Amino acid sequence: MYVFHYYYLFIIFIFLVITFFLGRFFQKKTDRLKTSLQATNERLTSFFTHTSDAINITTVDGLLVYINPAFEQMYGWTKMEILGKPLPIIPAELHEEERRMRDSLLAGNAINHWEASFLRKDGSFLDVEVSVSPLRDVDGTVNGFAAITRDISEKKQYEQKLMELAFYDPLTGADNRRSFYLRLAATMETANDDNLRFALLYLDCDHFKSVNDTMGHDVGDELLQQFVGRIQALLPRAASLFRLGGDEFAIIYSEPSSDEEITRFADRLLAELRVNWSIQDHSFTTTCSIGISLYPHDGTSQSALITAADHALYEAKAAGRDAYRFYTKGHRGAVVAAGADEIGDGIGSSDAG
Determine the pLDDT at residue 349.
31
Angle at 209 between CA 204 and CA 210, to 5 degrees: 120
* Structure confidence at residue 159 (pLDDT): 87
Q: Show me where the domains of the chain are located.
A: 51-162, 168-342
| pLDDT score for 165 | 82
Residues of the chain short of pLDDT 50, as ranges, are 331-352
The pLDDT of residue 333 is 41
Residues sharing a CB contact under 8 Å with residue 202, sequence separation 6 or more, in sequence order? 248, 249, 250, 290, 291, 292, 293, 306, 309, 310, 312, 313
- Could you tell me which CATH class the domain 168-342 is placed in? alpha beta
Say yes or no: domain 51-162 is CATH 3.30.450.20.
Answer: yes
Position 233 scores a pLDDT of 95
